[in-house]
Amino acid sequence: MTTQVPGSAPSPVEAMFAADEASRRLGIELMQYGEGTAAVRMTVTPAMVNGHKIAHGGYLFLFADTAFACACNTHGPVTVAAAADIDFIAPAHEGDVLVATAAERTRFGRSGIYDVTIRRGDEVIAEFRGRSRTLRATQNREAQ
């Protein structure tokens, strides 16, 4: 786990997460991060439940994508998703506390591959794979 030293500038992950309005509005919390890894937590709210009374897949995708974004931005330069997919394993329900853990599988050039597992306790809810792309310096300035 990485923690911020009092009085120091926030890390790239902390700065990115602090500016992530979508994740914050859903109550997603950054639990920990390290080089190429991250873990986030979210509670499924009534607003996230679909007509089948289970968590809408779009919210689960967004949740996993947040863990992915945190993990791939631990290296410093602005890095974004190039592509991603998700496999839903089990339904999540209102009130479930979920944890998504992201781990870097490989980086090559400006690209990377990351796997994210969403769990409710010990039960796997979904598996996500994200492919990242680090922006060039001129793109980094435009993204900020």
Residue 142: pLDDT band with limits 50, 70, 90: low
Residue 123: pLDDT band with limits 50, 70, 90: very high
CATH number at residue 112: 3.10.129.10
d(CA 101, CA 35): 13
pTM: 0.89
The distance between the two most distant Cα atoms of the chain, rounded to a whole number of Å, is 47
Helix (H) or strand (E) holding 119: strand 111-120
- Tokens for 134, please give them: 């680090």
Q: Would you mind telling me the total number of residues written for the chain in this entry?
A: 144
Number of domains in the chain: 1
Share of the chain above pLDDT 70, in %: 90
The answer as to whether 5 is a domain residue is no
Confirm if 96 and 27 have CB atoms less than 8 A apart: no
pLDDT at 126 over 50: yes
